[in-house]
A and B are shown apart, each in its own frame.
Chain A
Amino acid sequence: MASVEPLPQPALELPPRRRGRRSSLRSWRRGDRVIFVAAWSVGVALCVIAGAIVIYLGVEGLRYLDPKLLVTSPSPSVDQATSGGFLDPIVGTVTLAVLGTLIATPIAVSAAVWVVEYGRPRWLAVAVETAIEMIAGTPDIVIAIFGLALFQLGIFAPLSFRSSGGGVYGRSFLATGFMVSLLAMPLTYTATRNALQAVPRHLREASYALGKTRIATIRRVLLPSVRAEMSTGATLGMGRIIGTTAIVVLLLGASLQTSPQGNVPLLGFLRGTGTTLTGYVFANSPSGEGNAPQKAYAAAFVLMILVLVLNAAVERISRIAGANTVQAGRLAR
């Protein structure tokens, strides 16, 4: 484009920041005033509660947290000085988070794509929606019991192991991974579905108008468009997995140490049992069998740090992935 020579600009003084007169709170309708005050108080209260949890756990956790605890395995002992740390629970938490997310994300994204982009026959789409809503509303403990019943079936023996009596044990990282994926799936599904529904129609049509098929449009245009929301949903799902206790206590074997099955390196580990940080906190809390509150505090502190890091990651991912999406483009303009 041709450039136009700019006119010479006289220097302008930056005016001071000023604000004109605004309406006073007293002149508002009563309803508006109530909502205004309520919104402020609820917002502040939430911050105070969140801050209180972080500070309390921080103080208690740091008091008992010894770096050695992070790198030593738990060992059975009545004496707290020799009962070890929580290396195994940390490994367990990370393993389950990765495993559950790896299982949940492809299923959730495929379901969302199918419901939004195909969605025929209509009744099937409605059924899928309802099923996912039901999964989202199912309490952890119900999912745990169902999982236990399911994975003790003979055909699922490869996921855990058969005891000498012939019964299937049904508890392992793999079995737990499948069940915790149910916690993450609705979050990823909802995030992806909402994002796909928000993609303007003309973007799809632009791709069709270039001679692309529907599936090519989904892969090359739609999924890249919703990357930010998709990863936010998956990360939130990961947070749900990290936070679950019931499924871990029932399905992961309730052993504080990881105990692999067989000699195959990774598979053996996944077929074996173990625990997570939440399971460890539960076991060491006054209601668990360990009853070592100091260790529970320290582990809870680590758990909280993990969740906070994950939340920060959500923020970052959605910002980076979102920088190149339609919505961001609209904002930038």
Chain B
Amino acid sequence: MSNNGTMLIDPIVIERKSVTAPGFPGLAAATSPERMRLDEVTVFYDGVPAVRGASLAIHQGEVLALIGPSGCGKTTLLRTLNRLTELTPNARQGGRVTLDGEDILEIEDTALRTRVAMVFQQPNPFPMSIFDNVAFALREQARRRPRRRELGPLVQHALERAGLWAEVADKLDTPALRLSGGQQQRLCIARAIASGPEILLMDEPCSALDPRSTSVIEELIHSLREDLAIVIVTHNLQQARRVADRVAFMYLGDLVELGSTQQIFEAPRESATSEYIAGAFG
């Protein structure tokens, strides 16, 4: 199994053009700058490798999907990008991750995580009102908490971008946990984008949702990518095909192949990729 990081990075910029399709406005900026770069990232849990030397780059305005069978390390790889792996006491990490050229270990964790936001598999609103959920990230840990009047427009903007405003505009003060599952997940997206992150990580954001909510969120991903880079982990190959510009296939901790969505699904270079795509294993 090859794990050829260096080869994978450069051709992509060229290939990105070939995937450009109507309705994929984010791709217009095909020469968009690189924002994050992973260099030989390895993660061990209790001494057992979960990710083995993954290297890739994440560009402004793209949607990068991580696919692969369960336990292949895609969620772990995602969690290295905002240093959530550090919260797991038995995890060790090697390699280097940079954000705009700066090593993320050099950035304060709280600052990094406002720039690299995350949406989880389970919708997880906090036990507070809809408004407070979205305002959560905006309320700095400063001595003075900003007033509601100042936060109002920002909260509204985030909810509008998450496509939830029309449904909740008149009940901002009701508990967020009263919303439906799909609404809760869109609320979590609104919460994550409220503080204006540059990268949005999504860990199987639709796997707990019904098809209708899933399609709403996929549309949302399309519209969000205009000003964010999105990295999405998904089990659902069709979803990867629908939303991603580039796809990375991982297997047993290795980053096996990275390419444009079209190339991965229509002409995979590695046999493991083609078998997985064809449904030989999962």
Q: A212 near B: Cβ within 8 Å?
A: yes
Of all chain A residues, the one with the shortest Cβ separation from B216 is: A1
A333–B180 Cα distance when bound, in Å, is 7
Q: Indicate if the CB atoms of A202 and B120 lie closer than 8 Å.
A: yes
Q: A67 near B: Cβ within 8 Å?
A: no
Set B117, B127, B177, B216: member contacting A209, Cβ < 8 A: B117
CB distance from B183 to the nearest CB of A (A): 9
Q: A20 near B: Cβ within 8 Å?
A: no
| A209-B122 contact given A1-B167, A216-B141, CB 8 Å threshold | no
| A211-B126 contact given A329-B175, A329-B178, A332-B178, CB 8 Å threshold | no
Q: Indicate if the CB atoms of A206 and B120 lie closer than 8 Å.
A: yes
Count of chain B residues with Cβ under 8 Å from any Cβ of A? Answer: 36
Q: Indicate if the CB atoms of B82 and A209 lie closer than 8 Å.
A: yes
CB distance from B80 to the nearest CB of A (A): 13
Chain A residues whose C-beta falls within 8 Å of the C-beta of B113 in the assembled complex: 208-211
Q: Indicate if the CB atoms of B126 and A203 lie closer than 8 Å.
A: yes
**Which residues of B (66-117) have their CB < 8 Å from a CB of A?**
82, 84, 87, 109-114, 117
Q: A205 near B: Cβ within 8 Å?
A: yes
Q: A325 near B: Cβ within 8 Å?
A: yes
Most buried by B among A1, A209, A212, A225: A209
Q: Indicate if the CB atoms of A202 and B195 lie closer than 8 Å.
A: no
Contact digits for B171-197, partner A, Cβ 8 Å, 1 yes 0 no: 000011110110000001001100100
Q: B7 near A: Cβ within 8 Å?
A: no
Q: Indicate if the CB atoms of A206 and B188 lie closer than 8 Å.
A: yes
Q: A224 near B: Cβ within 8 Å?
A: yes
CB distance from B127 to the nearest CB of A (A): 5
Set B125, B141, B181, B188: member contacting A212, Cβ < 8 A: B141
Q: A213 near B: Cβ within 8 Å?
A: yes
Q: Indicate if the CB atoms of B181 and A333 lie closer than 8 Å.
A: yes
| A221-B111 contact given A216-B141, A328-B177, CB 8 Å threshold | no
A216–B122 Cα distance when bound, in Å, is 22
CB distance from A118 to the nearest CB of B (A): 12
Set B87, B110, B167: member contacting A211, Cβ < 8 A: B110
Q: A326 near B: Cβ within 8 Å?
A: yes
Set A202, A206, A213, A326: member contacting B177, Cβ < 8 A: A326
**Which residues of A (206-243) have their CB < 8 Å from a CB of B?**
206-213, 216, 220-221, 224-225, 227
A243–B277 Cα distance when bound, in Å, is 68
Chain B residues whose C-beta falls within 8 Å of the C-beta of A328 in the assembled complex: 177
Of all chain B residues, the one with the shortest Cβ separation from A204 is: B87
Contact digits for A292-333, partner B, Cβ 8 Å, 1 yes 0 no: 000000000000000000000000000000011110111011
Of all chain A residues, the one with the shortest Cβ separation from B108 is: A211
Of all chain A residues, the one with the shortest Cβ separation from B188 is: A206
Q: A43 near B: Cβ within 8 Å?
A: no
Q: Indicate if the CB atoms of B177 and A210 lie closer than 8 Å.
A: no
Chain A residues whose C-beta falls within 8 Å of the C-beta of B127 in the assembled complex: 221, 224-225, 227, 324-326, 329
Q: Indicate if the CB atoms of B111 and A205 lie closer than 8 Å.
A: no
Of all chain A residues, the one with the shortest Cβ separation from B180 is: A333
| A203-B137 contact given A210-B117, A212-B110, A329-B177, CB 8 Å threshold | no
A200–B177 Cα distance when bound, in Å, is 14
CB distance from B46 to the nearest CB of A (A): 17
Q: List 29 A-B contacts (CB under 8 A).
A: A1-B216, A202-B124, A203-B124, A205-B84, A206-B118, A206-B120, A207-B126, A208-B109, A209-B113, A209-B201, A210-B114, A210-B136, A210-B137, A210-B195, A212-B137, A213-B110, A216-B141, A224-B128, A225-B127, A324-B175, A324-B177, A326-B177, A328-B177, A329-B125, A329-B127, A329-B176, A329-B177, A329-B178, A330-B177
18 further A-B pairs in the complex, CB-CB below 8 A; given A208-B113, A324-B127: A200-B124, A202-B121, A203-B124, A205-B84, A205-B118, A207-B126, A209-B82, A209-B113, A209-B192, A211-B195, A220-B126, A227-B127, A323-B175, A324-B175, A329-B127, A330-B177, A332-B177, A333-B181
Q: Mark A residues whose CB is within 8 Å of B.
A: 1, 200, 202-203, 205-213, 216, 220-221, 224-225, 227, 323-326, 328-330, 332-333
5 nearest A-B pairs in the assembled complex, by CB-CB distance: A329-B177, A211-B114, A209-B118, A211-B113, A210-B137
Q: Mark B residues whose CB is within 8 Å of A.
A: 82, 84, 87, 109-114, 117-118, 120-122, 124-128, 136-137, 141, 167, 175-178, 180-181, 188, 191-192, 195, 201, 212, 216
